[in-house]
Amino acid sequence: MAVSPFGPGKIFILVGPGGAGKNTLMKAVMPQLDNLSQLATATTRDPRPGEQHGREHIFMDLATFEQWKDNGWFVEFEEVTPEKYYGTPKIALERAFAEGRDLIADIEIAGAERIKAAYPDNVVLVFIWAHQDVLAERMRARGTSEKDIQERLDRAEREYAFAEQCEALVVNDIQTQAADELRSLIERLRNPKPVHA
């Protein structure tokens, strides 16, 4: 990766099919690494129990979301689930890059692609994958119907094609192993921290 005009900070974006365990892996590696925090993306969905405004997401109503969009404050935005919008705030990214702070985020494929196009030298795309039987078992444990499981497995196969455009792939069949792999990958790919005299 070349030197970025936006600064030394990087964002590690985890992409991949539902059930691959992106969120769990993100939460597992964050406390193990210095200078790595979650990018809080904007969303119009309601907060879930335990979530904090400004930590997992910036929670906002649709009118505010539209205003941010019109002001050009998002790098990208998507209707991820019906009538639930998500957007990546430009200022939060660019500030972190400039200050040399590293970020991690779970963003769906179309959005991740657009962020990579905007900041090619700051974005590391990490494809998180799990084998079909593991994905199916995780979905079953969440109470997903067999029909939905089949649909999502078919979609997962199609999404796998995107792995080719990513800098790295982590197979998350066994969560502890995958978390170790992701942690060492981040350590290897991030810029060295400046040494202060």
Amino acid at 12: F
Binding segment (CB under 6 A) for ligand 5GP, from list 27-35, 86-94, 156-164, 179-187: 86-94
CB closer to ligand 5GP, 160 vs 191:
160
In angstroms, the first-to-last Cα distance of the chain is 27
CB closer to ligand 5GP, 76 vs 181:
76
Tokens, residue 98:
């400039």
Tokens, residue 96:
């972190």
CB closer to ligand 5GP, 36 vs 39:
39
Binding segment (CB under 6 A) for ligand 5GP, from list 5-13, 79-87, 92-100, 130-138: 79-87
Asked if residue 106 binds ligand 5GP (CB under 6 A), the reply is: yes
Which of 59, 73, 78, 180 is in the footprint of ligand 5GP by CB under 6 A? 78
Asked if residue 45 binds ligand 5GP (CB under 6 A), the reply is: yes
Binding segment (CB under 6 A) for ligand 5GP, from list 2-10, 29-37, 74-82, 175-183: 74-82
Question: What share of residues in the chain are helix, strand, coil (percent, to 5)?
Answer: 45, 25, 35
CB 33 within 8 A of CB 10: no
Asked if residue 122 binds ligand 5GP (CB under 6 A), the reply is: no
Amino acid at 112: A
Nearest Cα neighbor of 172 from 11, 15, 7, 2 is 15
Asked if residue 108 binds ligand 5GP (CB under 6 A), the reply is: yes
Binding segment (CB under 6 A) for ligand 5GP, from list 2-10, 84-92, 95-103, 125-133: 84-92
Helices and strands, counts by H and E, the chain = 7, 9
CB closer to ligand 5GP, 167 vs 191:
167
Nearest Cα neighbor of 129 from 180, 163, 103, 105 is 163
Nearest Cα neighbor of 11 from 195, 189, 196, 194 is 189
CB 30 within 8 A of CB 104: yes
CB closer to ligand 5GP, 86 vs 129:
86
Interface with ligand 5GP (CB under 6 A):
41, 45, 76, 78, 80, 86-88, 106-108, 111
